[in-house]
Structures are given as C-alpha cells and as structure tokens.
Copies of this chain bind each other. A is one copy, B any other.
Amino acid sequence: MDEKIVKEMVEDIKLRQERSEKSVPIGISNRHAHFTKEAFKTLFGADAEATLHKNVKQPGQYACKELFTIEGPKGSIKDVRMIGPYRSYNQVEISAADARKLGVEQPPIRDSGKLANTPGIKLVGPKGTVTLPSGLIMSKRHIHFQTKEAETFKVKDGQEVRVLCGRGTERETIYERVLCRVSDQFALELHLDVDEANAAGMKNNDAAFIV
C-alpha cells in the first residue's frame, strides 16, 4: 500500500481516538420555537414580554413561561414554549412524531435559521394567532462548541462528525453527519430531538463521543 495513504489513515485514526477520549454531554430538544418580538406580541399581547421559565445550557438562552399551541390539519400540540431571547426570524422545531400528530408531512431537516423552502404552520396563543409562511423544521443533529473547546476537539464550524451514543448499552447508536457549530457564545452540548434521544436510549447529560 502507498506509504502516504497509510500515514493519512494512521493520522485519522489517531485524531478520532483523541477526540473520543473526551465526552460531550447530551441535551434533548423537545419541540420549541424561536420568535421575533412581533410574532411573540401577536400571540401573547402587545404588553407581553418573554419571561424566564428556565435557563437552558446555552448561555443567555432560556425557555419562556408563555405557552402556545401548534395547530396542524389533523391535530394540535399544546403547551409549547419559545426559547428566548427574541430572534430575527420565526422558527418552529418539531420531531417526526410531532409531524404525524399534526398531520403534516415531515418538514425538512435544517440547521437553525436556514429556512428557505420550509413549510409554514399555524400557531395559537392566548391573545392571537400567527400563521407562519415558512419556518417549520426538524432540527439537524448538532453539537455546540465554545470556540476554545472546538480547538481542543480539533473541529471547525460547519464540519460534520460521527457521534457514538449509548456506548455499551442495548441501544448503542452511531449518528452520522452531526453538524459542528462553533461560537464564543456556545457551551459544549450535543442536541438531539426526542426521537433521536429515545432511539439511542439517552437522557439529558448522558455522554456522547465523537468517533
């Protein structure tokens, strides 16, 4: 075999080994939305402001107290929360199981904010209704890395990696094509939706490994 190829293979194996020695905690994303201030006020009233229900792991991000309903042609899902603060776009993230319950086709799998050619959905709050023309997605599996952590793991923003979940269990699973997202504002966390977490038998804060 070509010596150069062998050397590259050995380097790749070493890199994977090195990465897999550090674990990545899992955060399970239930269905949720990101709203503009305008959409929020349409749902909850002109005087309403998004209020803290619970901080999530990503710095500055929080689940809000205010609850709304996602309405589909065949069913609805109540008690959904916005993850604040307000954003410059409206986005509703659901699971494949949710799509079935709503009676809509499974929406495309997208990175947050990449909403071109996504379907819309109707949302109902206590003070009003918003019919989004687009913004319904299933979230692409991703890992948040703080910039320094990304250096430690030797990954770059936008790169896709292979992630091992449930190591040594009956539901051991390897998720391919997990997106790496890098920012000074992030904390290390693998985001899976409820279907993905269940399939691999994972709970919040369980350990995953980049392999």
Contacts and interface: CB of A to CB of B under 8 A. Distances in A.
Interface of A: 95-97, 106, 109, 140-141, 170-177, 194-196, 198-201
Given A97-B194, A194-B97, A140 B170 contact: yes
A97 B170 contact: no
Contact of A174 (B109, B171, B176): B176
Which residue, A96, A172, A175, A176, has most C-beta atoms of chain B within 10 A?
A176
29 contacts: A95-B198, A96-B198, A96-B201, A97-B97, A97-B194, A97-B195, A106-B201, A109-B170, A109-B171, A109-B201, A141-B171, A170-B177, A171-B177, A172-B177, A173-B174, A173-B175, A173-B176, A173-B199, A174-B174, A174-B176, A175-B199, A194-B195, A195-B195, A195-B198, A195-B199, A196-B199, A198-B199, A199-B199, A199-B200
A198 B97 contact: yes
A141 to B, nearest CB: 8
A31 to B, nearest CB: 12
Given A96-B201, A97-B198, 16 more contacts: A95-B198, A96-B198, A97-B97, A97-B194, A97-B195, A109-B171, A109-B201, A140-B170, A141-B171, A173-B175, A173-B176, A174-B176, A175-B199, A196-B198, A196-B199, A198-B199
